[in-house]
Amino acid sequence: MKVAIYCRLSEEDRNKQSETDDSNSIQNQKTMLLQYSMEQGWELYNIYSDDDYTGADRRRPEFNRLLKDAENHKFDIILCKTQSRFTRELELVEKYIHGLFPIWGIRFISIVDNADTANKGNKKSRQINGLVNEWYLEDMSENIRSVLTNRRINGFHIGAFALYGYKKDPDQKGHLIIDEEAAVVVREVFTLFSQGYGKTAIARMLNDRGIPNPTEYKRLKGLRYQSPKTKNSTLWKYYAIADMLVNEIYIGNMVQGKYGSISYKTKQNKPRPKSEWYVVKGTHEPIIDQNLWNNVQNLIAQKAKPFSIGTIGIFARKARCANCGYIMRSAKNKGKHYLKCPNHHVAENACIGSFISVDRLERLVINELNNMISEYLDKDELEQNIEFCDNLNGQKARLTADIAAYKKKIADYSKGVRELYMDKVKGLISESDYVEMSKDFITDRERLERVLAESQNQLTIIEEKIIEGDNRRELIEQYTNLDHLNREIVEILIDYISVGKRIPGTRDVPIEIHWNF
């Protein structure tokens, strides 16, 4: 019998030696479950461990990997310390423990609360545990929400990290004090903007001097700050400057609650209307004086233009730089509208600088659309469908092969980590040696898991297209003989457009259109 061990801890652990090291509580869970497995004579398949995740978080990476492997019957038993380690949601208890696991031939066991799906007599107790855990989640969420709302109303800072330019007061919880090193940069940004410098120009000036952006600054200060890893992530960008210039925290007002959670069952947040923000004035020392703030806000108001869906806005958030992948920004010069890469001017050699006029891009898109219309409407319907399906089946075959290779490589990395962990448990290697030796395995495995997830999503889309059939003919027939595009047409037809750099010696700009069909 092969057993899969699942461990989870939701609290922020303060005893970690490094970010890759498991918390003490996770180690204790693993030790207990490993010992139990050996006593039962079971073969260990894998250890799945989610640290710093709640029992209501359905996006737990190891939890979802466990479910996928269970569906593929890579093991026979799932072993946890308690049922709540697996999930605190009654819905998932019913869906997996009482529903899919028996269908998949998987036995679920939790040691402390004696849950065992092989024992039909304790199903009601498992359901009661699930209900109690569900109530616990809801009550805890409401209590936490009430406490946080009260603290926000009273002007206490409740975020995990202070805004750039400030730091948490070690002597007064919920109070911010000025971080003078970063505050110097904040004052310079406001001053430069008040003197007429643009946001991109300010970003470039800071980058040229090697000043780390707020995210990198936090990392350099040793804070465990996480943000999406993107290209040029250490650079100042237009958006960072724009957000800074309108943030009232810099004039001493505490502003919180800009985003709110959708449900206590998920970490996903959504923007809240400004009328629902919590704004308390005069809670901490300002970095920017009121006169400079008023001057900057007046300049921003003068430069602000309402979003247009006319000529300039038809490709809004649709055009991307082919080199760095960033959304291209609109610009205007001598009455003509252009799209340009925002990274080109933020730092030297940050990007090749994709650039194209809106008129030219519109003509290129219309020409490409007309070519497709001519191609597909002149083809025999049967021949077109055969070509379409052959193309998609080829893509499906390639993706399927890639997915199999990714899974094998991930399994190899997991096996390496598992063997290293068993060596650590047996005392053959030290804790520090285990951390150092497993770091590369874990990093490569996580990278491949992200690639695997994306490939599986692509495969699902392709399979859906094969089932649905080729609808391109019906779609493009609606858009014959176009002279101009509008925003509605672009939204319907185009996913995004990749724009390259002008070919030297010509006026040609290479583009790649990714259609919605």
Residues 177 and 293 in one domain: yes
Residue 503's CB: how many other CB atoms inside 10 A?
Answer: 10
Q: Tell which phi-psi region holds residue 109, choosing left (phi > 0), alpha (psi between -120 and 50) or beta.
A: beta
116: pLDDT strictly greater than 70 = yes
pLDDT one-digit tens code per residue, 82-103: 888 888 777 788 888 888 998 9
Q: How far apart are CA 299 and CA 316, in angstroms?
A: 24
Are the beta carbons of 516 and 493 closer than 8 angstroms? Answer: yes
| Residue predicted with more confidence, 125 or 235 | 235
**pLDDT > 90 fraction of the chain, expressed in percent and rounded:** 19
pLDDT one-digit tens code per residue, 11-46: 544 444 444 455 557 788 888 899 999 999 999 999
Q: Examine residue 506 and state whether it is found in any structural domain, yes or no.
A: yes
Please choose, from the candidates 291, 301, 340, 336, the residue with its C-alpha nearest in 3D space to the C-alpha of residue 320. 340
Residues 298 and 173 in one domain: yes
Q: Examine residue 308 and state whether it is found in any structural domain, yes or no.
A: no
The owner of tokens 């900057």 is 296
Q: How far apart are CA 6 and CA 12, in angstroms?
A: 18
**pLDDT > 70 fraction of the chain, expressed in percent and rounded:** 77
312: pLDDT strictly greater than 60 = no
Are the beta carbons of 166 and 178 closer than 8 angstroms? Answer: yes
Please choose, from the candidates 326, 292, 356, 329, the residue with its C-alpha nearest in 3D space to the C-alpha of residue 200. 329
Residues 200 and 340 in one domain: no
Q: What is the pLDDT of residue 417?
A: 80
Q: Which two tokens stand for residue 55?
A: 């029992």
pLDDT one-digit tens code per residue, 480-490: 667 788 776 78
Q: DSSP secondary-structure letter at 360?
A: H
In 469-515, the DSSP E strands lie at 494-499, 511-515
Q: Examine residue 485 and state whether it is found in any structural domain, yes or no.
A: no
| Residue predicted with more confidence, 211 or 271 | 211
Residues 255 and 207 in one domain: yes
Are the beta carbons of 84 and 55 closer than 8 angstroms? Answer: yes
Residues 291 and 389 in one domain: no
Residues 73 and 173 in one domain: no
Q: How far apart are CA 5 and CA 33, in angstroms?
A: 7
Q: What is the pLDDT of residue 62?
A: 93
Q: Which two tokens stand for residue 328?
A: 């291209």
68: pLDDT strictly greater than 90 = yes
Residues 414 and 267 in one domain: no
Q: How far apart are CA 337 and CA 199, in angstroms?
A: 19
Q: What is the pLDDT of residue 382?
A: 40
Residues 191 and 299 in one domain: yes
Q: Tell which phi-psi region holds residue 505, choosing left (phi > 0), alpha (psi between -120 and 50) or beta.
A: left
| Residue predicted with more confidence, 71 or 453 | 71
Our separate counts of H helices and E strands in the chain read 16, 17
Q: How far is CA 111 from CA 39, 84, 248, 370, 440, in A?
A: 13, 11, 52, 66, 33
Are the beta carbons of 245 and 193 closer than 8 angstroms? Answer: yes
Q: What is the pLDDT of residue 346?
A: 64
CATH number of the structural domain spanning residue 184:
3.90.1750.20
Please choose, from the candidates 82, 158, 143, the residue with its C-alpha nearest in 3D space to the C-alpha of residue 115. 82
Q: Examine residue 235 and state whether it is found in any structural domain, yes or no.
A: yes
Residues 323 and 233 in one domain: no
Please choose, from the candidates 101, 99, 98, 106, the residue with its C-alpha nearest in 3D space to the C-alpha of residue 123. 98
pLDDT band at 508; cut points 50, 70, 90: confident
pLDDT one-digit tens code per residue, 397-428: 877 887 888 888 888 888 888 888 787 777 78
AA letter at 370: N
Are the beta carbons of 280 and 155 closer than 8 angstroms? Answer: yes
Q: What average pLDDT does the segment 168-197 reach?
A: 90
Phi, psi of 269 (to 5 degrees): -115, 160
362: pLDDT strictly greater than 50 = yes
Lowest mean pLDDT among 228-232, 371-375, 448-452: 228-232
Q: Examine residue 59 and state whether it is found in any structural domain, yes or no.
A: yes
| Chosen domain end from 150, 173, 205 | 150
Are the beta carbons of 301 and 173 closer than 8 angstroms? Answer: no
pLDDT band at 471; cut points 50, 70, 90: low
Residues 278 and 143 in one domain: no
Q: How far apart are CA 251 and CA 362, in angstroms?
A: 44
Q: Examine residue 483 and state whether it is found in any structural domain, yes or no.
A: no
pLDDT band at 183; cut points 50, 70, 90: very high
| Chosen domain end from 96, 131, 150 | 150
155: pLDDT strictly greater than 50 = yes
Q: Which two tokens stand for residue 261?
A: 């959670």
306: pLDDT strictly greater than 60 = no
Q: Which two tokens stand for residue 193?
A: 């903007």
Q: How far apart are CA 107 and CA 127, in angstroms?
A: 16
Lowest mean pLDDT among 23-37, 139-153, 237-251: 139-153
Q: Examine residue 416 and state whether it is found in any structural domain, yes or no.
A: yes
Q: Which residues form the domain of 163?
A: 155-303
Are the beta carbons of 490 and 479 closer than 8 angstroms? Answer: no
Helix ranges, 24-113 (H): 24-40, 61-71, 83-86, 90-92, 101-104
Helix, strand, coil percent values for the chain (each to nearest 5): 50, 15, 35
Q: Residue 478: helix, strand or coil by DSSP?
A: coil
CATH number of the structural domain spanning residue 112:
3.40.50.1390
The strand pairing partners of 107, in sequence order, are 77
Q: What is the pLDDT of residue 126?
A: 64
Q: DSSP secondary-structure letter at 94?
A: I
209: pLDDT strictly greater than 90 = no
Residues 366 and 499 in one domain: yes
Strands 319-321 and 494-499: parallel
Q: DSSP secondary-structure letter at 443?
A: H
pLDDT band at 350; cut points 50, 70, 90: low
Residues 498 and 350 in one domain: yes
248: pLDDT strictly greater than 60 = yes
Q: What is the mean pLDDT of the chain?
A: 79
Q: What average pLDDT does the segment 245-258 reach?
A: 90
Q: What is the pLDDT of residue 127?
A: 66
State how many domains the chain has: 4
240: pLDDT strictly greater than 60 = yes
Taking only Cα atoms into account, the Rg of the chain, rounded to an integer number of angstroms, comes to 28
Q: Examine residue 482 and state whether it is found in any structural domain, yes or no.
A: no
Q: How far apart are CA 6 and CA 30, in angstroms?
A: 8
Strands 166-168 and 176-178: antiparallel
Q: How far apart are CA 450 and CA 61, in angstroms?
A: 10
| Chosen domain end from 100, 122, 150 | 150
Cβ-proximal residues to 262 (8 Å cutoff; 6+ apart), any chain: 268, 269, 270
